[in-house]
Structure 1
Amino acid sequence: MWVVDAETLVFIAVNDTAVRKYGYSREEFLTMTMDQIATPMEDAGETVADDSHGASTAWRHKTKEGAMLLVESTWHEIPFAGRDAVLVLTLDRTEQRRAEQRNREQANLLNLASDAIIVRNLDNVVLFWNQGAERLYGWNTQEMIGAKTIETFVKDREYEAEIELLKTGVWTGQLTHQSKAGQAVIVNSRWTLVREDDGSPKAVLVINTDVTETKKLESQFLRAQRLEGIGTLASGIAHDLNNILSPILMSCGILRKEFDDEDTLKMLSIIEGSAERGAGIVKQVLTFARGVEGERVLLQLKHLVSELAKVMAQTFPRNIDIQTNFPPDLWTVMGDATQLHQVLLNLCVNARDAMPQGGGIRLSAENVNIDQHFASMNPGAQLGPYVVLRASDTGSGMSPQTMEKIFDPFFTTKEVGKGTGLGLATVIGIVKSHGGFLTVQSELGVGTTFSVFLPSSQEKGSDVAKEEVPIARGNGELILVVDDEPPIREALVRTLTANGYHAYTAEDGSDALALYFQRRSEIAAVITDISMGQMDGVTLVRSLRKVDPKVKVIVSSGHLQKEHIVVLEGLGVKAFLDKPYTADKLLRALQGVLKQTDEQPEVVK
């Protein structure tokens, strides 16, 4: 405490506490002025009281030894010793101010943390809310201080976690919270119980780390692993499935020569078509799971639409009306029939699922020329002729929010177990691989229309098949058939003998090599599978080349892999057959091999 002159601020009186705290003697103080020890704090406000109590202000005071004191002073005007004076009462706030500064610095550090750091009391009222929490949940500090967690971002109260916290003082686990925007937020949460000096619970320090995107990536990774497993499984079973389908297809060719009545031939066509469709499905699975490229040929899409409409009429619920419409002069496209069939099928299955109470599906196709305006409005579109396939339904339709996500892998609106979220992702992938693009229009309660635009050759489709060179019958040539599947060997022998050839058979590479070594002067060509037990097809071909460098070989497989083709091409193989194959494809391949020159190898699909 001091008394200073009101005009000169010279110390008139000083108490013992000031002498002890500042280090000056009483005599030294009385020769000094207040401004020699005090400067106001720029960052401190002033609290003004009434005249009787004066004003309280924050100051920086300096001791004799140079130490800085942070003080709060109150000045009162008083008469003293016959003159105007000021009574200065000072409280040392140094430690308090330093503590406040430390708190601010710590709060700033907490705000720099990417984690959400929250302090709440035992009634779940928020006491502290850092900027990380603002970023994660969307509520700012002003909104959350004093608010209850259970009424804001906490969806369900974790009673078991609170019990463990009170028992052990800590709890860790994963929780699903909710942001201000209503989105799910997944966090790794760490709770620490804050106690009073007497050990009683006071508050809870919560540190939440956002793992929402990580969990999404983990989920997609697991799904991708399952998809890779599907690819591995598909590769493994493709050989076996195609081995099953091969004798069926070849037998149809044999039976056509033995029967000529219309009903039988019609049934054979159905069997052959079904077997070919099964083979196409196997290829489609491989295409999706492993990225295997399909065969691109000139296609008339109205046949594809008509065929799919028949399938839907037989398999979809009877309360769904199916209509088709396309012009007679529809242009052709270059594409893979199986993949484009899959595109339309996926769209129609989605349409069916959107109409549980029944409705209508309309499949149509038309020729269009894309102009500059339309191309600028649709990413992926190019100027020129396109064929448009449209699949429309009268179903439930989609919201704009749903339409934004429908092509995302694994996104589905169907119930668990009824949708993989891969259907439209497959559609968009196939359409883009064909150089096309896709548009969608949908309205809730009205229906949805998908439009698939495919580049056109602008040629009119023909219903008449191109005339092929007739297959010449064999002249008794001896063919060595090598396959570990008895039905395939039997079907091959029947097909060959029915078309003027003779055949020997071997069930693996070792038997075939021994037989060829004995009869190589008689054997005109070898037809061999790749995957066999004792000696596989690649090893057999390599061994045959050592015995006879001019041996003519056709290699077949249920799943021809590029690495096998490269090796076999290096060994001089010029013809490959993808199982299952028809008698026609087999005979054409054989005819080509028997006339073999140094032309490029041919893969017969």
Structure 2
Amino acid sequence: MVNLQGKRVYSSPSYRALLGDPEKLFGTDAFQEIHPEDRERIRRVFRETIATGVGQRAEFRFLLKDGSVRYVESQGSVMRDNFGRVTNVISVSRDVTGRKKAEEQIREQAALLDKAQDAICVTDMEQRILYWNRSAEALYGWTAAEAIGQYGHELLFRNDSLRQMEAIKSLIAKREWKGELRQVTKGGAEIIVESRWTLVHDGEGHPKSILVINTDITERKKLETQFFRSQRLENIGMLASGIAHDLNNVLAPIMMAVPMLRDRVTNPTDRKLLDMLDRSVRRGADLVRQILSFARGVEGEHKLVQPRHLLADLEKMVLETFPKSIQFQKKIDPELWSTRGNATQIHQVLLNLCVNARDAMPGGGTLSVAAGNCSLSETEARAHAGVKAGSFVVIGVSDTGAGIPPDLREKIFEPFFTTKAPGKGTGLGLAGVRGILKNHGGFVDVESEIGSGATFRVFLPAAEERFARSTFAKPVEIPVGHGEMILVVDDEEAIQQIARATLENFGYRVINANNGVEALSVYKQHKEEIKAVVLDSMMPFMDGGATLRALREIAPDLKILGVSGLNVDEGISVGPGGVQAFLTKPYTAQDLLTKLDSVLQPLTR
């Protein structure tokens, strides 16, 4: 109790813990122990209480003699005399230091939670959001004011509700849960979070709330997916190299046999069949080279290409293999310019676009191909990285499908992005198209309207020699042998037989070996007669590289023609200590004879 001058007239025994002996406090200034920063404010409250006769609640700090600070909550009231005049002010106070420290700790923890990189929220057991930190605002887009009071399962989940229910069951059983969840943001974007849930209990041990800490791992999951797919592609590349080698062994006898058969056939119909067989086996060889280019990341050789021929082949393929419900239309400029590039890769680009157009019209429609010439200005070229202004060949592929939504038109060129159902596409097609065209100095653009289909336009730089005129090359004279003995080393019987037949038809004598071990034995027996060796690189027991080294020890100057089903073979190289020349399967009779002749040239016949 304090008089109107602010002097203590009574202090309860409970003041002993704060200010000492209550009896010694009598007559002392009631404001003396109040913290200097709070003192004037409390004096003002004291005066207002006396003036109005209405008590006020106030919080302030006591600054004790030992320098410690205690927080006090006080409720004031007045005492009046018989005439209604205020005579004293009664203050009922309590020490709230513990509560204030707890509140300060909570504020500090809340500030730390707001600084945390993870999205943190607290929900009740019905998943109504009670707390939402700043990182949650940044991740999901909803402010705390928008999120608090909402149900988490309605706000954040679109299609992963079953997974969420499993998390709830596990949380109740084990008091915590950890896993990955697919959620949505305010903008509708789907994200993947690594989520940790902890069950919070009340004082009686009953479940009270759920603490949820979410880490955005969307980009990490994308990188993981791309890494796994890259590993898969690497494995496919390794497998492709092996398959390509085997296919080349299959194609090589056919490619050498066709010219020999053509010389023996006189019936025009049979000759046409052989011509078709020759074209097919060459196309097969091109496809194998394309597989190897993909597997090894090797860019194909660029030559003069007339797109008209590729489009004619493409038309035939579409008409023969696409559903009859798809109509094909074409419009080709009769003066279409030529370009320089890899014909197989450009054909792959056009076929890929046609296949995509087909898939965009499952119920049928019209696939249109148009080709013409154009020129790009400096301004137009700058819109495409790496493209130079000048003359271009433009090939457009159009469909009458559903069209491409605007928000997907750039994403469709990203690696592994696909709108097709699982198992229907890898998402590599259009990324490959863009990559091939970039290597050719060109680009691709797309126009589409929902409900009206899409048009992809391929731009390829026109060659300086824009018109590829048909020229009749003088037939190349095939070199012939003069009775030289050639050792053919190959584990494929068909290749042995056709190579032997070819060489014998053109004046050579031939001796065969099935592998490196046999080749060494045969050479030692006939080393005075053998003038050259045709050596395959991949064989059982003793491969081409080991055989080459062994032959070089026996006969350092022996003429050797290396052969492989791969474009590059690490075991066999051209140069000192290696082979004089290298031949890639499948090869024609002319290829074999020409290479062998170049190897034998230094010899005196």
Which among 106, 119, 122 is matched to residue 119 of structure 1? 122
Q: Distance in 2 between matches of 1:452 and 1:120?
A: 54
Per the alignment, residue 549 of structure 1 pairs with 556
Q: Are 1:487 and 2:494 matched, yes or no?
A: yes
Q: Distance in 2 between matches of 1:435 and 1:72?
A: 79
Per the alignment, residue 521 of structure 2 pairs with 514
Q: How much has 1:486 moved relative to structure 2?
A: 0.4
Which stretch of the first structure deviates more once superposed, 97-106 or 84-93?
Answer: 84-93
Q: How does 1:164-179 map to 2 (within 5 A)?
A: 164-179=170-185
Per the alignment, residue 336 of structure 1 pairs with 342
Per the alignment, residue 263 of structure 2 pairs with 257
Q: Distance in 2 between matches of 1:379 and 1:449?
A: 21
* Amino acid in structure 2 at the alignment position of 1:419: G
Per the alignment, residue 108 of structure 1 pairs with 111
Per the alignment, residue 20 of structure 2 pairs with 23
Q: How much has 1:470 moved relative to structure 2?
A: 2.1
Q: Please give the per-residue CA displacement for 1:557-592, whole angstroms capped at 9, x wherever unaligned.
A: 111325345x44342423211111122222222232
Per the alignment, residue 512 of structure 2 pairs with 505
Per the alignment, residue 295 of structure 1 pairs with 301
The 8 Å contact of residues 247 and 491 in structure 1, kept in 2 or not, is answered as: yes
From the superposition, tell whether residues 352 and 20 of structure 1 become closer, same or farther in structure 2 (CA, over 3 Å).
closer
Q: Are 1:148 and 2:154 matched, yes or no?
A: no
Which stretch of the first structure deviates more once superposed, 363-372 or 74-83?
Answer: 74-83
* Amino acid in structure 1 at the alignment position of 2:56: A
Per the alignment, residue 291 of structure 2 pairs with 285
Q: How much has 1:85 moved relative to structure 2?
A: 5.3
Per the alignment, residue 61 of structure 2 pairs with 60
Which among 397, 422, 438 is matched to residue 416 of structure 1? 422
Q: Please give the per-residue CA displacement for 1:462-507, whole angstroms capped at 9, x wherever unaligned.
A: 2335445322333333322111100011111122222333222111
From the superposition, tell whether residues 323 and 590 of structure 1 become closer, same or farther in structure 2 (CA, over 3 Å).
farther
Q: Distance in 2 between matches of 1:20 and 1:536?
A: 97
Q: How does 1:100-499 map to 2 (within 5 A)?
A: 100-155=103-158, 156=161, 158-459=164-465, 460-467=467-474, 469-499=476-506
Q: Distance in 2 between matches of 1:351 and 1:218?
A: 30
How many percent of aligned residue pairs carry the same amino acid? 44
Which stretch of the first structure deviates more once superposed, 13-22 or 311-320?
Answer: 13-22
Q: Please give the per-residue CA displacement for 1:204-246, whole angstroms capped at 9, x wherever unaligned.
A: 2222333322222222222222111111111111111110011
From the superposition, tell whether residues 269 and 417 of structure 1 become closer, same or farther in structure 2 (CA, over 3 Å).
same
TM-score (norm 1): 0.90
Q: Please give the per-residue CA displacement for 1:42-65, whole angstroms capped at 9, x wherever unaligned.
A: 9x9999999554332322222343
From the superposition, tell whether residues 465 and 536 of structure 1 become closer, same or farther in structure 2 (CA, over 3 Å).
farther
Per the alignment, residue 588 of structure 2 pairs with 582
From the superposition, tell whether residues 394 and 471 of structure 1 become closer, same or farther in structure 2 (CA, over 3 Å).
same
Q: Distance in 1 between matches of 2:92 and 2:478?
A: 119
From the superposition, tell whether residues 220 and 161 of structure 1 become closer, same or farther in structure 2 (CA, over 3 Å).
same
Which among 566, 583, 590 is matched to residue 559 of structure 1? 566
- For structure 2, the residue ranges without an aligned partner over 5 or more in a row are none
* Amino acid in structure 2 at the alignment position of 1:139: W
Q: Distance in 2 between matches of 1:468 and 1:260?
A: 20
Q: How much has 1:20 moved relative to structure 2?
A: 4.6
- For structure 1, the residue ranges without an aligned partner over 5 or more in a row are 598-605
CA-based RMSD of the aligned residues comes to 2.8
Larger strand percent: 1
The alignment partner of 2:167 has SS state of helix
Which stretch of the first structure deviates more once superposed, 400-409 or 174-183?
Answer: 174-183
**Regions of 4+ moved over 6 Å:** 44-50, 80-84
* Amino acid in structure 1 at the alignment position of 2:113: L
The 8 Å contact of residues 9 and 35 in structure 1, kept in 2 or not, is answered as: no
Q: Distance in 1 between matches of 2:219 and 2:379?
A: 38
From the superposition, tell whether residues 326 and 585 of structure 1 become closer, same or farther in structure 2 (CA, over 3 Å).
farther
The alignment partner of 1:413 has SS state of coil
Q: How much has 1:427 moved relative to structure 2?
A: 1.2
The alignment partner of 1:464 has SS state of coil
From the superposition, tell whether residues 273 and 596 of structure 1 become closer, same or farther in structure 2 (CA, over 3 Å).
farther
Q: Are 1:92 and 2:84 matched, yes or no?
A: no
Q: Distance in 2 between matches of 1:554 and 1:254?
A: 22
The alignment partner of 2:464 has SS state of strand
The alignment partner of 2:504 has SS state of helix
Per the alignment, residue 70 of structure 1 pairs with 71
From the superposition, tell whether residues 448 and 86 of structure 1 become closer, same or farther in structure 2 (CA, over 3 Å).
same
Per the alignment, residue 29 of structure 2 pairs with 32
Q: Distance in 2 between matches of 1:373 and 1:24?
A: 92
Q: Distance in 1 between matches of 2:316 and 2:286?
A: 18
Q: Distance in 2 between matches of 1:394 and 1:468?
A: 47
The 8 Å contact of residues 331 and 458 in structure 1, kept in 2 or not, is answered as: no
Q: Distance in 1 between matches of 2:315 and 2:75?
A: 94
Q: How much has 1:352 moved relative to structure 2?
A: 0.8
Q: How much has 1:414 moved relative to structure 2?
A: 1.0
From the superposition, tell whether residues 571 and 370 of structure 1 become closer, same or farther in structure 2 (CA, over 3 Å).
farther
